Amino acid sequence: MPESVQVVIAKYREDVSWAERLGLSYIVYDKSSEPLTDARRLPNIGREAHTYLTHIVEQWESLAGHTAFVQGNPFDHLNDHGKADVQELRSMIMDCVERNVPFRGFAWFRLRCDGLGRPHDLGNPENRGRWPGWGKDIPVAEVFSRLFAAEPPREFIARAATGLFCVSAERIRTRPREFYEYALRLVAEDPRDTENTGHALERLWQLVFNGNRAWNKDKYF
């Protein structure tokens, strides 16, 4: 029987020893070159979107009732003080499970942007070199159009900013497995996120998991 909840942690070089204190089933996907300790190695491509989509595709038949997807250090963004702890994260996750919430973003803030991801800080001189896609816009509307059989909205409100959210297996499966396989190919084709494909997914998770089956395409290629 699948777990009622599982935490998926996208790790690079963060200390994820906090996961044990959650008291919940979890799996760490490690994209660093550090020695593995109770983690699964993935290639360092596609940002956390690659990690999350890999988990969904490979665990499709055995997804937990709810899966919390988080980065290796999620605590800076859970509240407006930047000082959240493990118990606050656990409370957020368990609230979703106990109330059977289909989707919830965990970051305390929302991002509002247009189809090019504007406003964003990828042109900020202080961030030069921080991301391979620095100096470019974020193709939010383009990625939306590749994923969904719908016209992209003029404005996007990202409710899972920073890639922190919990979603039910039922809501995940409102889209076919082929959808996630296709999305995984999109991010893998932009391995270093030079075109900001992974950044775009960060602004689209709430639409990926909005449950609108009418947006599903007949074929994904």
Query: What are the sequence ranges of the domains in the chain?
Result: 5-109+161-210
b/e sequence 40-68, b meaning 16+ C-beta within 10 Å: eebeebbbbbbbbbbbbbebeeebbbbbb
Region 86-108: mean pLDDT is 97
The string of pLDDT tens digits covering residues 156-215 is 999 999 999 999 999 999 999 999 999 999 999 999 999 999 999 999 999 999 999 999
**Residue 175 CA from chain centroid, whole number:** 16
CA distance 132 to 146: 22
pLDDT score, position 1: 39
Contacts 24+ apart (CB under 8 A), 61-65: 62/2, 63/2, 63/6, 63/169, 63/172, 63/173, 64/2, 64/3, 64/4, 64/5, 64/6, 64/25, 64/169, 65/2, 65/3, 65/4, 65/5, 65/97, 65/168, 65/169
Entry pTM? 0.96
The string of pLDDT tens digits covering residues 17-68 is 999 999 999 999 999 988 888 899 999 999 999 999 999 999 999 999 999 9
Confidence of residue 2 (pLDDT cuts 50, 70, 90): low
For the record, the structure tokens of 136 come out as 């470019």
b/e sequence 82-121, b meaning 16+ C-beta within 10 Å: eebeeeebbebbbebbeeeebbbbbbeeebebbbbbeebe
- Do 201 and 139 form a contact (C-beta atoms < 8 A)? no
Confidence of residue 82 (pLDDT cuts 50, 70, 90): confident
Q: What is the DSSP letter of 72?
A: S
C-alpha distances in angstroms, 76 versus 10, 97, 98, 117, 183?
15, 23, 25, 22, 27
**Residue 216 CA from chain centroid, whole number:** 19
Single-letter residue type at 193: D
The string of pLDDT tens digits covering residues 111-139 is 999 999 999 999 999 989 899 999 999 99
The domain 5-109+161-210: what is its CATH number? Answer: 3.90.550
User: Cβ of 197: how many Cβ atoms within 10 Å?
Assistant: 25
